Structure 1
């Protein structure tokens, strides 16, 4: 059985300074939710955190495609 390539994704979030941008209000309060082995798992974590903070319009969570930073030649999008 061939080993599947690890496609790491980071989920993080915090309160934004302005709804029109992606600048965090306080970097000391940015939450690192976790690192996940694929997009599907990262999306589950992102969705859970986003739903928990739905009442705060300034709170945003993001999925960072770490595998693209580690290996820019990776040509995969949303691989589960």
Structure 2
């Protein structure tokens, strides 16, 4: 919690796309990336990630990721 009693905002990006091969994280076509959204906490991002991963379970090359944007924006701050 912050000094005002609110939970700290920890932004997370959920996105995905088809990979060139299953051993890497290089995408086939960057113009076709699926930007699912930006979420205020990990739990919300995980829910969105699970939903998209479940929708694409039949496509082995399709992968979704959660990016911890708060770590990129302020790398010196440790999450609570």
What is the TM-score normalised by the length of structure 2?
Answer: 0.92
Question: For 2:6, which of 3, 7, 28 is the aligned residue?
Answer: 3
Cα deviation for residue 33 of structure 1 reads 0.0
RMSD of aligned alpha carbons? 1.1
Asked if residue 62 in structure 1 is aligned to residue 69 in structure 2, the reply is no
Cα deviation for residue 69 of structure 1 reads 0.2
Cα deviation for residue 75 of structure 1 reads 1.2
- Runs of 4+ with deviation above 4 angstroms: none
Which of these two proteins has the greater Rg computed from alpha carbons? 2
* Structure-to-structure mapping, 1:1-80, within 5 angstroms: 2-76=5-79
